[in-house]
């Protein structure tokens, strides 16, 4: 029997319904459309398109993986974030819409035409840094990650997005290897308590890297480490925006405050949860903050500490 887009879509919807998926036909349109490079709404236009054997096998494989609980972004190895397409590997966190709160918080507070120096701690796929660079056309950015695979993936994403000339990526333990100061620092550290890792949804616990999730006994381990680097990473009055987990804003604010940062705002995501902490560094300084940041001159390289 000849397989068409319509017949494979019907087959996929039935399989997803059997596995307990809500709105199985809509999910089937998503997986079939993404696998064929079509928008779900376009499938009607190509309903009678005949598919060859390899295409049918691939679509069935993708449907089976989706039915088993694997996120579509992992099946396709890509995710849209801030309107940009990011490739993923098993070593990179799957970017989620709530993390866009960090990007929006920064853009609301900076001069978009200024030659800013940006740093992304724990860059993963590079989504925070590259989303910002796509909006800040005179800026230069550095991303660091403990995972060599993640840093390499971020660099490839920079290339595919046409941002490689303004981005550099390094393998490092947070900011320990850097010897520069930055105007803007962003981070989405691991903040899930170790004991809660097994309680996470399957699509997170099974497919996101533990390195990007496990925040230690109280979920705050990474924030404490990052805070110790602030004095040598931030220019005076520099901006720091970082993602926090549910119920963590006050505790993280206290950690940052103990290291000389002044909390400027707590931004909520679209679900109304406190998601992003915005702070500035004002170390032993009686000067009133200027209305804009102190911008450093952008260089094409960044200085890295030598062992």
Tell me the pLDDT tens digit for each residue of 20-62.
Answer: 998 999 999 999 999 999 988 899 999 999 999 999 999 999 9
pTM over 0.85, yes/no: yes
Q: What is the pLDDT of residue 200?
A: 94
Give 119's strand partners: 142, 185
171 and 100, same structural domain? yes
How far is the C-alpha of 62 from the C-alpha of 73, rounded, in Å? 11
pLDDT 10s digits, 257-296: 999 899 999 999 999 999 999 999 765 644 333 333 333 3
63 and 83, same structural domain? no
Q: What is the pLDDT of residue 295?
A: 32
- In eight-state DSSP terms, residue 198 is G
235 and 149, same structural domain? yes
Average predicted confidence (pLDDT) for the chain: 91
Q: Pairing relation of β-strands 117-121 and 78-81?
A: unpaired
150 and 52, same structural domain? no
215 and 89, same structural domain? yes
Task: Identify the domain containing residue 163 by its residue range.
Answer: 79-281
Tally of domains in the chain: 2
User: Is 255 domain-assigned?
Assistant: yes
How far is the C-alpha of 212 from the C-alpha of 189, rounded, in Å? 7
- 299 pLDDT exceeds 90? no
Residue closest to 145 by CA, chosen among 164, 166, 163, 128: 128
91 and 181, same structural domain? yes
pLDDT 10s digits, 116-157: 999 999 999 999 999 999 999 999 999 999 999 999 999 999
């Amino acid at each position: 029997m000849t397989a068409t887009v319509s017949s494979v879509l019907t087959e996929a919807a039935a399989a997803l319904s059997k596995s307990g998926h809500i709105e199985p036909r809509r999910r089937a349109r998503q997986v079939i459309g993404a696998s064929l490079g079509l928008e779900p709404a376009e499938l009607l236009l190509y309903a009678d398109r005949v598919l060859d054997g390899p295409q049918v096998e691939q679509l069935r494989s993708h449907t089976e993986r989706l039915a088993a609980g694997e996120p579509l972004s992992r099946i396709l190895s890509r995710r849209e974030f801030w309107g940009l397409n990011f490739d993923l590997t098993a070593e990179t966190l799957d970017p989620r819409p709530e993390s866009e709160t960090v990007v929006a918080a920064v853009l609301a507070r900076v001069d978009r035409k200024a030659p800013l120096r940006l740093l992304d701690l724990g860059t993963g796929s590079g989504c925070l840094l590259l989303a910002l660079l796509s909006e800040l056309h005179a800026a230069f950015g550095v991303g660091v990650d403990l995972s060599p695979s993640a840093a390499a993936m971020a660099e490839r994403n920079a290339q595919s997005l046409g941002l490689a000339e303004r981005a550099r990526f390094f393998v490092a333990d947070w900011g320990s290897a850097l010897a520069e100061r930055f105007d803007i620092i962003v981070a989405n550290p691991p903040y899930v308590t170790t004991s809660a890792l097994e309680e996470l949804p399957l699509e997170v616990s099974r497919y996101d890297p533990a390195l990007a999730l496990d925040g230690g006994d109280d979920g705050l381990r990474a924030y404490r480490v990052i805070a110790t680097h602030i004095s040598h990473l931030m220019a005076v009055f520099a901006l720091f925006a970082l993602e926090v987990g549910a119920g963590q804003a006050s505790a993280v604010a206290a950690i940052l405050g103990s290291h000389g940062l002044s909390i400027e705002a707590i931004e909520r995501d679209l679900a109304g949860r406190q998601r992003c902490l915005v702070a500035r560094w004002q170390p032993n300084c009686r000067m009133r903050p200027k209305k804009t940041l102190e911008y450093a001159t952008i260089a094409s390289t960044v200085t890295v500490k030598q062992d």
